[in-house]
């Protein structure tokens, strides 16, 4: 049998290529999971967190919480009452005009924490501004009785204090203190807004002085 050879393939060298084995990447050994570092306490707060030594004869809360202030409860209640007075808004005569002017922007009673209130159910101050007639006296007394305790009364002007220029008239009450207790009297006919502001300051001082009294 004759074998023929291809002259083109005679000078060529037969080469064979074998596929390279696929190698898997080396796996690293299991390492423990590291958690993020949580920052510690603020350096300025660290001394406060250290245990304190109890000193006999000194209050423990003053050692643990040095910024705490100890005050009587009646002092806190009286300070809150004097700084949030709610006068009832009603007027009887010409003194009511001066009372209205005191609430306006020029004098601004709101800066004292004094806010007018139209209902006796939540009011704690009654300003009797004007002449109290015997016909009006039962209504004034009823409004006072509807106010919750503690409550205070300001007699504004000469008419509310002792009848003023109408003291000789039998139909005019000779002072509102004949029917309700009065805490502060404001002289004048009519008193200026500055006098009413001064009466409120005097009432605030009175509230702080009688803070221990009960049943107002």
By mean pLDDT, which of 67-71, 82-86, 146-150 is the weakest?
67-71
pLDDT above 70 (res 18): no
- Residue appearing with tokens 């009832």: 88
Contact (Cβ atoms closer than 8 angstroms) between residue 191 and residue 94:
no
Work out the average pLDDT over 73-84.
84
Give the model's confidence band at 31: pLDDT under 50 very low, under 70 low, under 90 confident, else very high. low
For residue 151, which of 114, 182, 130 has the smallest C-alpha distance? 182
- Measured between its terminal Cα atoms, the distance across the chain in Å is 140
Whether this prediction's pTM lies above 0.85 is answered by: no
Mean of pLDDT values over 55-82: 76
User: In the Cβ-directed half-sphere of 155, how many Cα atoms lie within 13 Å?
Assistant: 23
Which pLDDT tens digit goes with each residue over 181-207?
999 999 988 899 999 999 999 998 988
Confidence of residue 168 (pLDDT cuts 50, 70, 90): confident
pLDDT at 153: 94
Structural tokens at position 89: 């808004």
- Burial tier of 124 (Cβ tally within 10 Å: 0-12, 13-18, 19+): buried
- Among 23-27, 41-45, 124-128, whose mean pLDDT is lowest? 23-27
Express each pLDDT in 115-167 by its tens digit: 888 889 989 999 999 899 999 999 999 999 999 988 999 999 999 998 888 88
Q: Please give the residue that has the higher pLDDT: either 103 or 65.
A: 103
Across the chain, mean pLDDT equals 80
**CATH architecture of the domain covering 86-209:** 3-Layer(aba) Sandwich (3.40)
Length of the chain: 216
Domain boundaries, the chain: 86-209
pLDDT for 143: 93
């Amino acid at each position: 049998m004759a074998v023929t050879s291809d002259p083109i393939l005679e000078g060529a060298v037969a080469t064979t290529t074998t596929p390279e084995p696929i190698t898997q990447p080396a796996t690293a050994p299991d390492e423990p999971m590291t958690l993020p570092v949580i920052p510690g306490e603020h350096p300025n707060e660290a001394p406060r967190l250290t245990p304190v030594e109890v000193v006999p004869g000194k209050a423990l809360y003053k050692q643990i919480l040095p910024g705490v202030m100890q005050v009587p409860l009646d002092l806190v209640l009286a300070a809150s009452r004097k700084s949030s007075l709610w006068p009832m808004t009603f007027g009887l005569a010409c003194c009511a005009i001066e009372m209205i002017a005191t609430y306006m922007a020029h004098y601004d009673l709101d800066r004292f924490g004094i806010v007018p209130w139209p209902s006796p159910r939540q009011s704690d101050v009654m300003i009797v501004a004007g002449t109290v007639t015997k016909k009006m006296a039962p209504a004034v007394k009823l409004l006072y009785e509807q106010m919750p305790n503690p409550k205070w009364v300001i007699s504004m002007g000469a008419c509310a204090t002792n009848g003023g220029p109408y003291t000789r008239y039998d139909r005019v009450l000779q002072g509102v203190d004949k029917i309700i207790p009065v805490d502060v009297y404001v002289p004048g006919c009519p008193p200026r807004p500055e006098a009413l502001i001064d009466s409120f300051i005097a009432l605030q001082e009175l509230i702080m002085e009688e803070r221990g009294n009960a049943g107002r």
